Amino acid sequence: MPQTTLVSILEGHRSQPHQLIEVLQDVQDQYGYISEDSMRAISSELGAPLMEVYKVASFYKAFSLKPRGKNVITICTGTACHVRGANLVLNQAVGQLGIEPGEVSDDGLFTIEHVNCLGACALGPVVTENGSFHHHMNPGKLRKVIKTINSSGTEEISHG
């Protein structure tokens, strides 16, 4: 599959400043973050002031202004997950990877994020790893998830 470029994302949205959030969503999905260059391009193509683009991009949680790690571990900290020990799971991720939520690990492999609710409350605590769900999580289970990614990541590097 060819990579969708910024140009094709902007297709059909030009000169429509109200499409800003939709466009930012697609850029975020495609590149994993919103770069300054993307913001400048979006601003001129949509006809929205750069300041407005930055304001919107920094306001909504869906958008990251910094690159993220290759693997994104998202920990749900919604109420249902919270009362079932989501904090333990978050502590595990922070302790094991040595980074705080929003940061990227030194090897570029991981970013930890927390989200207010993933809507799978009956299965809490819930964690997604690059979008795929893990339910009834506890520190031990997360440790294994991270370990598995780590070992496959190292393999890729050694083969590559």
The helix or strand, by DSSP H or E, that contains position 106, with its residue range, turns out to be: none
List all residues 6 or more positions away from 115 whose beta carbon is below 8 Å from its beta carbon: 61, 74, 75, 76, 77, 78
The helix or strand, by DSSP H or E, that contains position 112, with its residue range, turns out to be: strand 110-115
Handedness of CA 155, 156, 159, 160 (dihedral sign): negative
Decide: is 63 part of the binding site for other proteins (CB under 8 A): yes
Decide: is 125 part of the binding site for other proteins (CB under 8 A): no
Residue 160 C-beta: closest distance to other proteins, Å: 29
Residue 21 C-beta: closest distance to other proteins, Å: 5
Of 50, 67, 119, 148, the one binding other proteins (CB under 8 A) is: 119
Residue 17 C-beta: closest distance to other proteins, Å: 6
Contacts with other proteins by CB under 8 A lie at: 17-22, 24-25, 48, 52, 55-56, 59-63, 77-85, 87-88, 91-92, 94-96, 115-124, 126, 131, 133-135, 138-140, 143
